[in-house]
């Protein structure tokens, strides 16, 4: 039986439109709030259609030396052009990007996991140092 970790895909976001992009400072001050921007398709646009879209992105922080990561937030994108008139005829589309504000007490790694309704789970990570 396959484990979930076996089906999570990784790649360089500059070559693959499904990889979550994590943008934040490389180093932050302990206990001070900073912004983390999560998006997909920074270099290659990801479609946002009824048939092909990003459903959600989840952000985790794994403090250095700790056994487990902490979930920072789960961000759902629920409007992809659906409507009674048919696919891609709807009046609203969500953009698959968010900004989360957080603070950390020690260095660690941010992990982002995103789900494409067709191409599955994709992960990326970024280290954050604390001054």
Domains of the chain: 6-130 (2.60.40.730)
* Number of other residues whose CB lies within 10 A of the CB of residue 33: 10
Catalytic member of 15, 116, 123, 126: 116
Active site residue 96: no
Among residues 82, 119, 123, 126, the one annotated as catalytic is 119
pTM above 0.85, yes or no: yes
Q: Is 116 a catalytic residue?
A: yes
Question: Residues 6 or more apart from 29 whose CB is under 8 A from it?
Answer: 130, 131
**Residue 1: per-residue pLDDT:** 82
Q: Per the residue annotation, which of 14, 23, 32, 52 is the catalytic one?
A: 52
103 is catalytic: no
| Residue 85: per-residue pLDDT | 97
What is the reported pLDDT for 112? 98
As to burial, measured by CB atoms within 10 angstroms (0-12 exposed, 13-18 middle, 19+ buried), residue 130 is: middle
Residue range 92-105: mean pLDDT, rounded: 96
């Amino acid at each position: 039986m396959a484990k979930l970790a076996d089906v999570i895909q990784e790649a360089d976001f500059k070559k693959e439109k499904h990889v979550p992009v994590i943008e934040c400072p490389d180093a932050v001050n302990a206990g001070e709030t900073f912004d983390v921007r999560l998006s997909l398709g920074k270099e290659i646009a990801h479609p946002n259609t009824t048939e092909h879209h990003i459903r959600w992105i989840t952000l985790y922080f794994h403090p250095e030396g700790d056994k487990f990561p902490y979930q920072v937030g789960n961000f759902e994108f629920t409007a992809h052009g659906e409507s009674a008139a048919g696919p891609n005829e709807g009046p609203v589309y969500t953009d698959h990007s968010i900004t989360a504000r957080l603070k950390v007490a020690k260095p660690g790694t941010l992990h982002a996991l995103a789900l494409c309704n067709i191409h599955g789970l994709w992960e990326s990570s970024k280290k954050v140092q604390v001054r």
